[in-house]
Amino acid sequence: MKPFALARVLQLAERRSETLSRGVKHAHGVWLRARGRQVQLAALRDAHIALLALDLKGGVPASQVREASRLQQAQTGEMQAAQAAIDAAHAEWQARLNAWLAEENRVKALRLLEARHQAEVAIAERRIEQRQHDELVERMHQQNGGRRR
């Protein structure tokens, strides 16, 4: 019987799905690292605030307070940049995930078509075998019928 006509398309779709899957994993890793960076920045900020609080209890010059304020503003900027990186990484991850899911659905549809094709081929082969068997039996009956007379 004829081979599955879309076999090459299925093979290419499976490869594309695997490639997209790797892209999803990579994008997820980027997102996780961005979140980790934000956690590090938050911990650093909290440590600086704790140190400033200790220093303020003992009294500090205005220049040191200004420097601490400048540092906190810089840290706030870094935190905002980190959040923007998280948002961008998350958007990229989701876009890649959606592309992979769409390709996976395409692969599933092609596999379903392949399974239907294989079922049709199996039915056709069984019909051919049955026809051949019936013809053989018919010939045997014709040969045996001619000997008995």
Per residue of the chain (149 residues), give pLDDT as tens: 689 999 999 999 999 999 999 999 999 999 999 999 999 999 999 999 898 888 888 888 888 889 888 999 999 999 999 999 999 999 999 999 999 999 999 999 999 999 999 999 999 999 999 999 999 999 999 988 756 54
Output the pTM of the full model.
0.74
Distance between CA atoms of 136 and 128, rounded to whole angstroms?
12
Query: How is residue 2 annotated by DSSP?
Result: P
pLDDT for res 59: 86
Q: According to the model, what pLDDT value does residue 102 have?
A: 98
Distance (Å, rounded) from C-alpha 42 to C-alpha 88? 19
